[in-house]
Amino acid sequence: MIIIGITGTLGAGKGSIVKYLTKEKGFTHFSVRGYLQKEMEKRGMPNNRDSMTSLANELRAQNSPSYVTDQLYFEALESGKNCIIESIRTPGEITSLREKGSFYLFAVDADAAVRYERIKLRASATDHISYETFLANEAREMNSTDPNKQNLKKCIEMADFSIDNNGDRNQLIIQTEKIIEKL
């Protein structure tokens, strides 16, 4: 069983990689965002990025820096299939998943203006924000010395494979396919 973790900046293309790997390569998808949204719904929290970040930080602080991805890993293990855990946000999540074996981390990034245009097109519940808010959200998640909070910069540095997604979807798929061939 192979587990691929995906980290990256907001709107960089994590979801596009997931769609390709699930449809074309038979991977099963487990989403940190989905896990948190279910928990937010149970708690009656608003479905926005601030609630999601706050809840994730709370769960990590109460349990462990890798709590959410550990829960998803156990679900993945039960499936017995190659899996993707999307939206890795803390170094502790990476460390925990690496200790479990057969884990590879992909990092995807693109220029901020390109990514903002993508999230406007995606138009999910958490994407209806201004460019300034988009940049502020990303800055908040980029660096932290608190192991329970997001540190995208460090996660991207820890990746086994990096993908530059400033091009179109086809270029993203070509890069992803080259990585899969190495695995």
Strand order in the sheet with 3-8: 28-31, 83-86, 3-8, 103-109, 161-164
pLDDT greater than 90 at residue 12: yes
pLDDT, one tens digit per residue, over 110-164 is 999 999 998 888 877 666 788 998 899 889 889 888 888 889 999 999 999 999 9
What's the token pair of residue 180? 């899969």
CA dist., res. 71 & res. 114, Å (int): 32
CA dist., res. 107 & res. 167, Å (int): 15
What's the token pair of residue 133? 């808010």
Mean pLDDT, the chain, as a whole number?
A: 92
Q: How many residues in total does the chain contain?
A: 183
Residue 164 φ then ψ, to 5°: -95, 115
Reported CATH class of domain 3-182: alpha beta
Looking at residue 125, its pLDDT comes to 64
Residue 47 φ then ψ, to 5°: -85, 85
Indicate the pTM of the whole model. 0.90
Q: Are the C-beta atoms of 75 and 68 separated by less than 8 Å?
A: no
Beta carbons within 8 Å of 164's beta carbon, 6+ residues apart:
109, 110, 175
Beta carbons within 8 Å of 35's beta carbon, 6+ residues apart:
68, 71, 72
pLDDT, one tens digit per residue, over 22-65 is 999 999 999 999 999 999 999 999 988 889 889 999 999 999 99
Residues facing residue 135 across a β-bridge: none
Kindly report the number of other CB atoms within 10 A of residue 35's CB atom: 20
Instruction: Give residue limits of the domains in the chain.
Output: 3-182
